[in-house]
Amino acid sequence: AQSVTQLGSHVSVSEGALVLLRCNYSSSVPPYLFWYVQYPNQGLQLLLKYTSAATLVKGINGFEAEFKKSETSFHLTKPSAHMSDAAEYFCAVSDVPGNQFYFGTGTSLTVIP
Amino acid sequence: GAVVSQHPSWVICKSGTSVKIECRSLDFQATTMFWYRQFPKQSLMLMATSNEGSKATYEQGVEKDKFLINHASLTLSTLTVTSAHPEDSSFYICSAKELYNEQFFGPGTRLTVL
């Protein structure tokens, strides 16, 4: 069975500050992990994904995430927040990239000017 | 990258009517499509998985007679909400994949049932 837990349903950061969104996973097999961003009334946009290659994954818009097996974590970070980063972020896990996704409950990011 | 479209992007209907939502893969053959439902401020919940040419597999608690899914071709899947009621109002998102490749998500359809 697979699942993800996103700690913190709401995160607020100041513009220019570090963004850290937490995701912990549970998986009985080596996981494939994803971060998606969703803007209001829109679909999901893939930020980055881990598929068993490099543990530090760089994505779009300056985001990156590090897969830590010992901590079962895949936290999303960005060194400097922009106003345009304000959105809902979802972490997801799958046993293989094309199979069913299990999504976390999401984290709403607010960027304060 | 692969593109998945949904039509319509939003729809308003009266209670008791049926609504059809289309999900299309524009530049690849989608052997599998997934349908998700998202309530406001909540996560995506998988409703069903459909493989081209076969019956959809529904998640526990999803009424297959209410949410009819058809995946008749490698580029098109449809979700029909039959006898819609206000509680069916939600954001419906599809995703599609080709064989063992990753999923690509559509932009979603906002359904409002009056």
Q: pLDDT per residue over B35-48, tens digit each?
A: 999 988 788 899 99
Instruction: Calculate how close chain A gets to B5, using CA atoms only, in Å.
Output: 10
Please compute the mean of the pLDDT values over residues B1-27 and round it to a whole number.
Answer: 94
- Nearest CA among A56, A4, A7, A2 for reference residue A30: A2
pLDDT band at residue B103 using 50, 70 and 90 as cut-offs: confident
- Give residue A93's identity as a one-letter amino acid code: V
Partner-chain residue, chosen from A98, A100, A104, that has the shortest CB–CB distance to B43? A104
| CA atoms of A91 and A18, how far apart (whole Å) | 18
Q: Give me A93's structure tokens.
A: 């896990």
Q: Which residues of A touch B99 (CB under 8 A)?
A: 98
Helix (H) or strand (E) holding A38, with range, is strand A32-38
Note down pLDDT in tens along chain A; length 113 residues. 788 999 999 999 999 999 999 999 998 888 899 999 999 878 889 999 998 778 999 999 999 999 999 999 999 999 999 999 999 999 999 887 667 888 999 999 999 99
| CA atoms of B40 and B110, how far apart (whole Å) | 11
Q: Are B104 and B4 in contact (CB under 8 A)?
A: yes
Q: Which residues of A touch B108 (CB under 8 A)?
A: 41-43
pLDDT, residue A97, reads 66
* Alpha carbon distance, N-terminus to C-terminus of chain B: 37
